[in-house]
Amino acid sequence: MPATSDDTRTYHSFPGAHYVLPADKPERDRLDRQHRVLKHAYDDKLIWSPVNLVPGSAVLDAATGSGAWLLDLADQVPDGVQLRGIDIESRLFPPLHPNVEFFTGSVTALPSEWSSTFQLVHQRLLTLGLTAAEWPDAFLELKRVLVPGGWAQIEESSAGSRHWESGPITARFEDMLSKLNTSRGHIFDTAAQIPNFLADAGFTNIRTEVRGIPLGKWAGKEGCDNRDGNIVFFQAIKTPVLNGGGFGHVSTGEEFDRLLAEMVEEWDSTPGSKWNFTIFSVQKPLSEDV
């Protein structure tokens, strides 16, 4: 029996894009919450690449979503630093900000006039946005728009092959999400494969910052904030999972909701539960022109 859904969320309509998650106010709110969780987990430090931003420097936030990272950065960099964000879905953009420009477009085909423009490019969480075939193109585009010697900061869920670590229910949910990714041509263990993609694109000086972010009531406020953000994320993939037939784990929306509730209970009651996350910092060689 096929899985069913009564979802009323709004999804993107950008030609050729494969992004799974919605493009509406609840998703914008989720992205803002997710940014706060990640910022806290990474010691409130937004830039891990060793780049020096001065007046006249330019920064690109690729797949900017709600623009949360970029707006935070606007409060920290000197006046005169140019800040741009690009995403396939303008409905996620924040209100106009005097020091930030937002553009509609894909990371796989950035504007041609941006070649060798940015000292820093930031990209976060495109595991559910890019197919396996698109990742190499995206990294070549990021390298093209960097100045020689510029840095890219790539942020993705998981450390190696594991995104969430807790107990058997979490492992079951992770398997369901892995199968959803595979069904859509995406890569699930993205963080494990990114180093090879970056090297193939010609980046050098690859550095990593890995965090296991506490997940659940046992970890106090940080664990509850991370739990709540992940719950909203999983609720957002409900329709894609059900439209895909449930992947052997659920058959109805009610079964999905019940499995999610059981996973949340597992997080709350299992010390050590965590969401894994990795930040990669890489450099465009000085000798390259594009």
Question: 143-202: per-residue pLDDT in tens?
Answer: 999 999 999 999 999 877 789 999 999 999 999 999 999 998 989 989 999 999 999 999
Kindly report the average pLDDT of the chain as a whole number.
90
Question: 259-279: per-residue pLDDT in tens?
Answer: 999 999 999 999 999 999 999
Share of the chain above pLDDT 70, in %: 91
Q: Which two tokens stand for residue 192?
A: 């494990």
Whether CATH 3.40.50.150 fits 25-283: yes
Question: 72-100: per-residue pLDDT in tens?
Answer: 999 999 999 999 999 988 888 888 888 89
- Whether 290 has a pLDDT exceeding 50, the answer reads no
Residue 157 CB neighbour total at 10 angstroms: 23
Distance of alpha carbon 159 from alpha carbon 275, whole angstroms: 9
What value does the CA radius of gyration of the chain take, rounded to a whole number of Å? 19
Q: Which two tokens stand for residue 254?
A: 């009610």
Mean predicted confidence (pLDDT) in 215-219: 97
pLDDT at 14: 55
- In single-letter form, the type of residue at position 159 comes to A
- pLDDT bucket at 17, cuts 50 / 70 / 90: low
- Whether 36 has a pLDDT exceeding 80, the answer reads yes
- pLDDT bucket at 117, cuts 50 / 70 / 90: very high
Given a contact cutoff of 8 angstroms between Cβ atoms, the answer to whether 98 and 73 are in contact is: no
Between 90 and 228, the more confident residue is 228
3-class secondary structure, 205: strand
CB within 8 Å of 185: residues ≥ 6 apart: 18, 131, 132, 133
Q: Which two tokens stand for residue 71?
A: 């707006």
pTM greater than 0.85:
yes
